[in-house]
A and B are shown apart, each in its own frame.
Chain A
Amino acid sequence: MYGHLRPNLPDTHYIDNRIYTDEQIFRDEQAHIFGKVWQFVCHESEVAMPGDFRCTQVAGKPVIIVRGQDGQIRAFFNVCRHRGAEVVREESGHASDFTCFYHHWSYRLDGTLQSVAKPAGYEAVKLDTAQLGLVPVRAELVAGLVFACLDPDAPSLREFLGGICEPFLQPLGTVPMEVFHFHKAIIHTNWKLWQDNNSERYHSMLHASNRKTLPWVMGKTSPMKLRIFPNGHSGYWSDGEATVNYEKGGYTGVTGGSLPGMRDNEMRVANLFPDLMINIRSNVVRLDRMVPLDAGRTLVEWRGLGVKGDDEDMRAMRLRHHNMFWGPAGRNLPEDVLAVESQMRAIRSDAVRYSILAREEDMNPTDDANLRAYYQEWGRRMGRSPSHADAVSK
């Protein structure tokens, strides 16, 4: 079948599209990637006060993130040790302790079991309540970003992230930030296609606004360069002048209030393996986080961050800047979603089996080197070549 002919390229330069559609590969990803690596779960401002909690999912497992009375942020499986009901049933909230609604087993904010209902019934078996706290999940922070990891043997968060922290440590980590924008959607595509969209700039021509405002994307050379780090992380930012030309696009009222370390109209993007994008446009931050639901559906959470304590005008400016491009009614985001859903509809048919990641152009943002590095890491963790979906190497 002509559509199944392999490209005449090195294996590293194309993808077998079945890695986006195969449900067994999806299940393997949950086990070998999402069950093993650090994943962003929320910003520290979402659990600002002792007792604040936030619920989410990591590798398909329900997780509570909570700030304890000692100020420490911890994570636990949101599963009662008694009969397995969800201990917390809200998306977020504030609590002095957690009491399971089913049989009223109660847990402290540090996860320890505080009390059981009718304890005399357990005296005969000498129930050891000290062993029956909520099951802890590793939680660590960098620059206010809270990450969780299900693997007790994984390296520390900072070891996992390495140099990819460089572009966001100062803007996110030196002034108190808070989430002022949140929205989510279930997009009908494979989660990796959304990460690809966030990682490659070759698609900037899709966006009417980017065609006007990002000259360094469309030119032959660019002061903006890809940066590639171990463990599948990458990003792009400039050491020199590579600013967004808002004036050329006719966009006003979005400049000023730059975050620490950011020049006016500067843009930096960091893509953290496997699913987080940190996109900074001088004075506002966008975070994309994914919860893959199955091979063809992905819950994406979008957050917008600004400086905590902004006055009304400054917050309005950051909000305007954020929503202009990244809100659900922004100029760019609707187009990105249409693109990755279109990909998925066509790829699912298996009419054309391979897609191309072969751009080599001196690490300009439209080079595919970061995607190749990402899929190399994907292949290492999966024990499977991304260009040969049916060949498993371990």
Chain B
Amino acid sequence: MKGAAMSQENPQDLLRALADRQAVLDLMHATADLLDNEELDEWLELFDEGAEYELGAYSPEIRRETSWWKVDRATLGKQLAEVRQHVRDPARRRHVLGLPLIYLNGDRARAVCAFSIFRTLPDGTSSLYVVGRYEDGFVKKAGRWLYASHKVVADTRVLDSFTHLPL
């Protein structure tokens, strides 16, 4: 298995690494759950002050990475505060996360995790909305893990509906 947590020889270090790994895993699942429930203030609280959120994809049409949403925490906060002023996609969303690869390095960590998001329309029909992966950086502050960067790399490039909400 990859990652620093499994390479600890001291039992206390190993326990600490396991706890850190679990905390990062919990953070990633909390992210998905908060977005699904549109608890956006709480979702933003998972970001460190200097954190950045990015949504992008590789575009074979122009043969380069293309960034669809790239903002710092402050701008993200302003945009999320305006979400309810917008006319929005009426579908509810449900994130399904794969098992992440987590790499611990002291008070820093990074993770890669496959995800999919399903949309359920008001009439009850569901469909796959986006599939992709998260490429995340984390920082531990005052005993709490937070996002240092949260990057959504979408495989899906033809979206059924655009989004005012983070993915």
Contact = CB atoms under 8 A, between A and B. Distances in A.
Contacts of B67: 181, 319, 323
A329 B68 contact: yes
Interface residues of B, number: 33
B29 interface: no
Interface residues of A, number: 36
What does DSSP make chain B's interface, helix, strand, loop or mixed?
loop
Interface stretch (A88-96, A156-164, A269-277): A88-96
B66 A208 contact: no
Interface in B41-64: 55, 57, 59-64
B63 A92 contact: yes
B95 to A, nearest CB: 16
A5 B89 CA distance: 33
A189 to B, nearest CB: 12
B85 A208 contact: yes
B68 A328 contact: yes
B158 A182 contact: no
Contacts of A182: 59, 61-62, 66
Interface in B71-111: 71, 75, 78-79, 82, 85-89
A334 B157 contact: no
B161 A338 contact: yes
Given A250-B78, A320-B71, A323-B69, A184 B158 contact: yes
User: Which interface residue of A46, A327, A335 has the most chain B CB atoms within 10 A?
Assistant: A327
A333 B64 CA distance: 22
Given A46-B62, A320-B70, A327-B69, A184 B157 contact: yes
Contact of A208 (B82, B160, B167): B82
B157 A183 contact: yes
A54 B78 contact: no
A206 interface: yes
A25 B79 CA distance: 42
A180 interface: yes
B10 interface: no
Interface in A206-248: 206, 208-209
A301 B70 CA distance: 20
User: Which interface residue of A250, A328, A339 has the most chain B CB atoms within 10 A?
Assistant: A328
Interface of B: 55, 57, 59-64, 66-71, 75, 78-79, 82, 85-89, 157-164, 166-167
User: A-B pairs with the 10 shortest C-beta distances?
Assistant: A334-B162, A208-B85, A329-B69, A182-B59, A327-B68, A328-B162, A91-B60, A182-B62, A335-B87, A91-B61
